[in-house]
């Protein structure tokens, strides 16, 4: 039986159950859903950028490193989700959750840098 607590006492055998694996799996799933949601909207922007019918994405005038970072998002999403699954399989639960959330943090940092530095 699982609960939201990290450690609970099992009623049947009196031992403790470590829920870190289950909670980290939930974290990986939720962060992967968030990363794929960002990737969905990135796809809409990329289509607009490629067809020169993108509105705001064209108004930004991304050039140089800004454009390179824009096109790097799908690679970051795929590598982070695959790496999180690999780390989860290797029983590195906390690292897997952190790696799964990398695209979300990277998108926020890119946006703030684009707004402040450009």
Confidence of residue 37 (pLDDT cuts 50, 70, 90): very high
**CA 101 – CA 84 distance, rounded (Å):** 9
Q: Is 114 exposed, middle or buried (0-12, 13-18, 19+ CB in 10 A)?
A: middle
- DSSP secondary structure, 54-114, as one string: -THHHHHT--THHHHHHHHHHHHHHHHHHHHHHHHHTT-HHHHHHHHTHHHHHHHHHHHHH
What are the distances in angstroms from CA 65 to CA 13, 42, 83, 89, 98?
58, 17, 25, 35, 25
71, 2 contact by CB (below 8 A)? no
Percent of the chain with pLDDT over 90: 66
**Against a cut of 0.85, is the pTM above it?**
no
- The pLDDT assigned to 10 comes to 53
**Which pLDDT belongs to residue 118?**
72
How high is the pLDDT of residue 1? 55
Please give the average per-residue pLDDT across 77-96, as a whole number.
94
The mean pLDDT value for 63-87 works out to 95
pLDDT for the residue numbered 16: 62
Q: Say whether pLDDT at 11 is over 60.
A: no
Question: 92-107, pLDDT tens digit by residue?
Answer: 999 999 999 999 999 9
Average pLDDT over the chain reads 87
Q: Say if residues 40 and 103 touch (Cβ distance below 8 Å).
A: no
């Amino acid at each position: 039986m699982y609960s939201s607590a990290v450690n609970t006492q099992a009623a049947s055998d009196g031992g403790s159950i470590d829920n870190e694996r289950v909670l980290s799996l939930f974290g990986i799933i939720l962060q992967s859903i968030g990363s794929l949601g960002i990737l969905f909207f990135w796809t809409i922007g990329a289509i607009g950028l490629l067809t020169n019918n993108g509105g705001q994405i064209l108004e930004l005038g991304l050039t140089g490193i800004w454009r390179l970072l824009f096109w790097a998002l799908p690679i970051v999403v795929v590598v982070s989700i695959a790496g999180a699954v690999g780390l989860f399989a290797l029983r590195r639960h906390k690292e897997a959750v952190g790696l799964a959330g990398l695209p979300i943090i990277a998108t926020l940092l890119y946006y703030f840098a684009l707004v402040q530095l450009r």
